[in-house]
Amino acid sequence: MAKSSTGKGNARRSARAHAATGAGKVTATRPRRSRQAAAGAPPEPAPSDRLASTELTAGQQLELYRFMKLNRMLEERLGNLYRQGKVVGGLYSSRGQEATSVGSAYALAPQDFMGPLIRNLGSMLVRGVKPREVMMQYMAKGGSPTGGKDGNTHFGDLSRGLVAPISMLGALIPVMAGVALAGRMQGRDLVALTYIGDGGTSTGDFHEGLNLAAVLGVPLVVIAEHNGYAYSTPTSRQMRIQDIAARAAAYGIPGEIVDGNDVLAVHAVTQRAVERARAGGGPTLIESKTFRMKGHAEHDDAGYVPPELFERWRQRDPIERFERHLLAGGLATAEELARVAAVIDAELVAEMDFALASPMPPPERAFAGVYAT
């Protein structure tokens, strides 16, 4: 079945068992952690720095690296623009979560659909979003994908399989279930993927959407990014369980847990879920254990997060960790990785120049386009 996997025989077998017998079981794709957190505690980083084994080629792994690096460097550029006062509204960072976005999006086929959230810039980049589009969105420029009507990553483009989110968390899950349903009705070979955070799993739409998707058996994959905090609220104030994946049992669907800072593991587990969905096996809930390395938004210094927690997770930074993997495995040299960064930097400068030059939208646009005609 899976073209790639974590390569861990037992994880692979249990995934097969899921596909065969269904539902309701929670599988950890990595060994259980030595540090067992209390129910509702923020996730802890993986004890080992080693990444899951993969069947991805060296070229594909370098592509993953490029997307993660682009994700981070674009957000750093956006941070500069924010501090220069050029970003009109808030700025939201996915620092520390790049592997989850990029690894999961990379498991999709071109005909698949995705509903990203605010911390899934990396997923959007994998789907072909250009840095200038994101920059213009944040700067509310007339040339932005929404023409200045909406900001940040809140834009979509069906030709790239992208559905725009709304700020009300959970709402995308039933919507993406509907995308998956329509895809099935239309005979498209289509899987829908969307994301939710630990806090977002507390919403009614999370429950309604996953339950409906499970009952209808539509090809939907939901990735719950368990990043420890919903704005300032720790997981312990959201739920009395340690693993979000345990919620899958309530819907009779497979639940998987993955080390969200291991891009190869995220890719493998998503690929399995996508293939299961494509084969008619219905939805999967994947919990990605990761950590939000900044505040909720740029204005938030995250003073409520214990510094030692940041420090522990910094040692498992998904990009640096992947660099160590690439170098140790002889998949790339330090010079090659530096060149990737240099090319991205040059690209971002050009994209930023373009975005800055875009005019603000004409005021009369405020009144146009309420209705489709």
Partner 1 sequence: MSVVTYLEAIRQALWEEMESDPRVFLLGQDVGTYGGPFRVTAGMLDRFGPERVIDTPISESAMVGAAIGAAMLGMRPVVEMQFIDFISCAFNQIINFAGPNHYRWGQQVPLVIRGPAGGNVHGSAFHSQNPESYFQHTPGLKIVAPATVADAYGLLKAAIRDPNPVLYFEHKYLYRRIKAELPPTRPAGAVQPVRPDWPEPQGPEGAESVAGAAAVTGSDGEPVILGKARLARAGRDLSVITYGAMLHVAMEAAERLAAEGIDLEVLDLRTVKPLDEEAILATVRKTNRVLVLTEEQLSGSVAGEVAARIAERGFAWLDGPVHRLCCPDTPVPYSPTLEEAYLPNVDKLAARVRELASY
Question: Which residues sit at the interface with partner 1, rule CB under 8 A?
Answer: 113, 145-146, 149-150, 154-161, 163-164, 166-168, 171, 173-183, 185-188, 192, 204-205, 208-209, 211-212, 215-216, 369-373
CA distance 223 to 266: 10
Give the 3-state secondary structure of residue 29: coil
CA distance 245 to 259: 13
Which of 18, 77, 119, 292 does the annotation list as catalytic?
A: 292
Tell me the closest approach of the beta carbon of residue 158 to partner 1, in angstroms: 4
Q: Which is nearer to partner 1, 114 or 265 (CB)?
A: 114
CA distance 148 to 128: 20
Tell me the closest approach of the beta carbon of residue 160 to partner 1, in angstroms: 7
Alpha helices in 252-373 (DSSP H): 263-278, 307-314, 318-328, 334-357
Tell me the closest approach of the beta carbon of residue 2 to partner 1, in angstroms: 27
- Respond yes or no: is residue 154 known to be catalytic: no
10 Å CB burial of residue 103 (0-12, 13-18, 19+) is buried
Q: Which is nearer to partner 1, 163 or 265 (CB)?
A: 163
Which of 267, 296, 321, 325 does the annotation list as catalytic?
A: 296
- Respond yes or no: is residue 18 known to be catalytic: no
Q: Which is nearer to partner 1, 25 or 207 (CB)?
A: 207
Q: Which is nearer to partner 1, 346 or 368 (CB)?
A: 368
Q: Which is nearer to partner 1, 42 or 151 (CB)?
A: 151
CA distance 52 to 54: 6
For residue 108, what are the CA distances in angstroms to 162, 222, 278, 336? 12, 13, 11, 27
Which of 35, 83, 160, 304 does the annotation list as catalytic?
A: 304
CA 188 to chain centre: 24
Quickly count: other Cβ atoms within 10 Å of residue 35's Cβ: 11
State residue 96 phi and psi, 5-degree precision.
95, -15
For 173-189, b where at least 16 C-beta lie within 10 A, e where not — what string? bbbbbbbbbebbeeeee
Tell me the closest approach of the beta carbon of residue 89 to partner 1, in angstroms: 14
Q: Which is nearer to partner 1, 175 or 258 (CB)?
A: 175
Q: Which is nearer to partner 1, 131 or 209 (CB)?
A: 209
- Respond yes or no: is residue 195 known to be catalytic: no
Q: Which is nearer to partner 1, 34 or 159 (CB)?
A: 159
Tell me the closest approach of the beta carbon of residue 365 to partner 1, in angstroms: 10
Instruction: Find where tokens 């919620």 sit.
Output: 247
End-to-end CA distance of the chain: 45
Q: Which positions ≥6 away from 125 have C-beta within 8 Å?
A: 67, 70, 71, 74, 102, 131
DSSP states of 312-346 as a string?
HHHTT-HHHHHHHHHHHTTS--HHHHHHHHHHHHH
Residue count of the chain: 373
Active site residues: 292, 296, 304
